[in-house]
Amino acid sequence: MVLIGKMKKIVKSVIKSVVFPVTGVPFRMGGGSLSSYWTSLISAVIANTDRDAIVMTFPSAKAIESDLSVTVNGAARNITSATWAGAVLTLVLASEVVPGDVVVVTFATTGQTANVTNNVDIWYGVTIDEANASPDLTRIASTAGDMALHASLPVHVLMKGCLLNDNGTVNYYLKTDDWTKKADGNASKLDGTDGQVMIEIPKFYHKIDNPSSGVYQHKISLYPCTGFTEIPKFYIGAYKSTVNRTAPIKQWSIVNANAEYRGGNNNAALDGADNTQLGKPATLLSLINFRTYARARNADTKWNVIPYRQSMLLFDLFIIEYATLNSQKAFNATLTAEGYKQGGLGAGVTTVTSATWNKFNAYYPLIPCGTSNSLANGTGEVNYTIPNFGDASGAVKVNRYRGVENPFGDIWEWCDGASIFNEGAGGVSKFYTCDNPANFADGTATNYDHRANLPIANTYPISMWHDDKGILIPKDSGGDAATYWCDYYYTSGLVNAWRALLRGGGANALSAAGFVSLTATNAATSRGANLGARLCYLP
């Protein structure tokens, strides 16, 4: 019986040595009880450079490795090897951990546990050096190996088209490369029957670092990295909005050429003409009107005119993907040698002759909603010729960014949640934002935060205030259409008044247009033939 017992111990020892190949330190006895030894643990850490390795530091070595187990977020994670180097024990796990994982090591002999410090960060982003006039940016990542994230784009690839119900639930997702179909292959309906055509922006994490004067690092991650802010999932209208024309009036993001959803100023006399407003975005409505019509979708404040913050988060996704501030840079479908995106979104619908546009339809929208739907969830541009426009500038390219049609151009877009107060002669132009849609209002600083002061003359900014919430705000003047931020800022100067914000530029804006082309010249009550909106849903 004694021999059998010894054989069992030998077999057990062999099995343990196979599961946990240990090198460096032989088995040691003594040195205090095992319970006391475990409490002497100095640290247990997973470093960013070795994301599958738990490094445990003790005052001295003791052969306890075969009695250790690991859980990650409560689930067992296999240990593939355990190695001593002096008094440091390294446990290599079967797979890597990610930021935010809760890792616990258990010593089975005593039942004691140790929480592991998870120092893993996984992110990718860009560096903006505002001393450099070039709008092109430097790509960065959490480690050299993580530069591959700029090719795989883990946050970006989760952006996808869907039909959203009024209660905020997804009716269905659209096929990635063919929006005539649902993701399951059945026929889709983009005319409003099945909901609003929206782009789902996934939950991600965002951080802006400022390591030195004028240098900013914009970073994103799928994981809760150290110091990052969670950006909750939200939805952006795939198209500039229209409205239905019989009460109750609501804002819509759809493809529908019926008279009930006529765009522009609802001019029925143009139906059937080359300058018809059927199927186009609605305009000649104030920010206040559009806000009311968005909120009419449901009895809460989750449906909105797209807030400025969400517009800027979309722009941040663009600059990280394409590594340029020049959103009008020529589109280039070819990847770099590293597999990165290059180029931009092209000029967009910004190149028509102003006088011809005025004669054609008095500056009302030109592009039917859904013109670029052949690109589905993709990015690019499609050719479109405005029928009998009057000159060659009617041949335009309708651009799209990951399913979002005309992210700039054709008509301006109202932005909610942002207000400007011009103090008058000798004062400043104050920029305010509000994070809570329930408090969106006009002509007031109540429930709004003063973020920064704006330029008091029209300009191409050379620098921005990089807000901790992802909001970019024009700062210093002196650029042009090919340098720095590349987009124009329009202001009414220090005329003592409140102003609302519009973004993107119109069909005649040329190189002044772009993702961060802004105008602060209109009150929230203003209406214009080329002033429209885009829906946004904030769960």
SS3 sequence of 494-521:
CCCEEEEEEECCCCCCHHHCCCCCEEEE
Q: How many residues does the chain have?
A: 539
How big is the CA angle at 405 (ends 404 and 409), to the nearest 5 degrees? Answer: 120
* Per-residue confidence (pLDDT) for residue 23, from 0 to 100: 34
Whether 125 is covered by a domain: the verdict is no
Question: Is 341 within a domain?
Answer: no
Q: How far apart are CA 138 and CA 129, in angstroms?
A: 9
Cα 208 from Cα 127, distance rounded (Å): 10
The residues, ordered by sequence, that sit 6+ positions from 50 with a Cβ below 8 Å of its Cβ are none
Which domain CATH number covers 106?
2.60.40.1130
Bridge partner list, 45: 55, 117
Query: Over the chain, what is the mean pLDDT?
Result: 94
- Collapsing DSSP to helix, strand or coil, 308 comes out as helix
Cα separation, 340 vs 358, in Å, equals: 41
* Amino acid at site 155: V
178-235 tens-digit pLDDT: 999 999 999 999 999 999 999 999 999 999 999 999 999 999 999 999 999 999 999 9
The residue from 118, 136, 171 where one domain ends is 118
Q: Is residue 13 over pLDDT 50? A: no
If one counts every other C-beta atom within 10 angstroms of the C-beta of residue 272, the result is 8
Give the mean pLDDT of 501-515: 98
Q: What is the mean pLDDT of residues 482-488?
A: 98
Residue 439 counted as domain residue: yes
Residue 29: pLDDT band (50, 70, 90) is very low
Domains of the chain: total: 2
- Contacting residues for 190 by C-beta, under 8 A, at least 6 apart: 163, 179, 197, 254, 255, 256, 370, 373
Give residues with Cβ within 8 angstroms of 111, minimum separation 6: none
How far apart are alpha carbons 30 and 378 in whole angstroms? 65
Q: What is the DSSP letter of 228?
A: P
Give the DSSP letter of residue 287: H
- pLDDT at 318 (0 to 100): 98
Residue-number span of the structural domain to which 92 is assigned: 18-118
In a domain, 403, yes or no: no
The last residue of one of the domains, among 118, 140, 168, is 118
**pLDDT for res 33:** 83
Assess if residue 308 is contained within a domain.
no
Percent of the chain topping pLDDT 70:
94
Output the six-digit token pair for 422.
């011009």
For residue 405, tell me if it sits in a domain: no
Mean pLDDT to the nearest integer, 469-478: 94
pLDDT value, residue 2: 36
The verdict on pTM exceeding 0.85 is yes
Q: Is 24's pLDDT higher than 60?
A: no
Domain assignment present for 108: yes
HSE at residue 85, side-chain half, CA atoms within 13 A, is: 4
Whether the per-residue pLDDT at 108 is higher than 50: the answer is yes
Instruction: State pLDDT tens for residues 257-284.
Output: 999 999 999 999 999 999 999 999 999 9
Note whether residue 161 is domain-resident. no
**What is the helix (H) or strand (E) element at residue 38, kind and residue range?**
helix 34-39
In this prediction, residue 357 has a pLDDT band, given cuts at 50, 70 and 90, of very high
Given a contact cutoff of 8 angstroms between Cβ atoms, the answer to whether 63 and 30 are in contact is: no
The per-residue pLDDT for range 403-419, each reduced to its tens digit, is 999 999 999 999 999 99
Residues 389-447 have pLDDT tens digits of 999 999 999 999 999 999 999 999 999 999 999 999 999 999 999 999 999 999 999 99
Domain boundary among 118, 141, 169: 118
User: Encoding tokens for residue 200?
Assistant: 């789902």
